[in-house]
Amino acid sequence: MSERTLGTRPRERDVFEYALLRVVPRVERGECFNAGVLVYCRARSFVAARTHLDETKLLALDPEADVAGVRAALRAVEGVCAGGEAAGQAARDDAGRRFRWLIAPRSTVVQPGPVHTGLTADPGAEAERLLDLLVK
């Protein structure tokens, strides 16, 4: 049965954008794996990052990788999304500016992938779903 036939109001869904966070242990080799997801929903002023670092994959691609450094970079992305003091200079920026800054191309060990879009009624749950589906 549809929500309309039950007499309930359908949950409003909003457009959201997301990008994967990739770990590229040795930039010159171009090998990478997914370690997180950034989710932004303009309609709800929502931006968040969910991360999961697979140390086994990281060390398989680069046995000398700086695991603590990669973890720190992923935590920094989460901090920028959270805003407040954890966001550093981006603390006063709105959710959209923080997302755009985080998805800007860079040649570091933690890199954003391309941006994709979808519809969601719950951007926080969407971030968890995408983490489970695309990262873990």
Residue among 45, 31, 37 at smallest CA distance from 116: 37
User: Looking at the predicted structure, is the pLDDT value of residue 24 above 70?
Assistant: yes
pLDDT at 3: 47
The pTM (predicted TM-score) of the whole model is 0.86
All residues at 6 or more sequence positions from 136 whose CB lies less than 8 Å from its CB, including other chains: 52
| pLDDT tens string 66-119 | 999 999 999 999 999 988 777 777 778 889 999 999 999 887 899 999 999 999
| pLDDT tens string 43-72 | 999 999 999 999 999 999 999 999 999 999
Residue range 9-20: mean pLDDT, rounded: 88
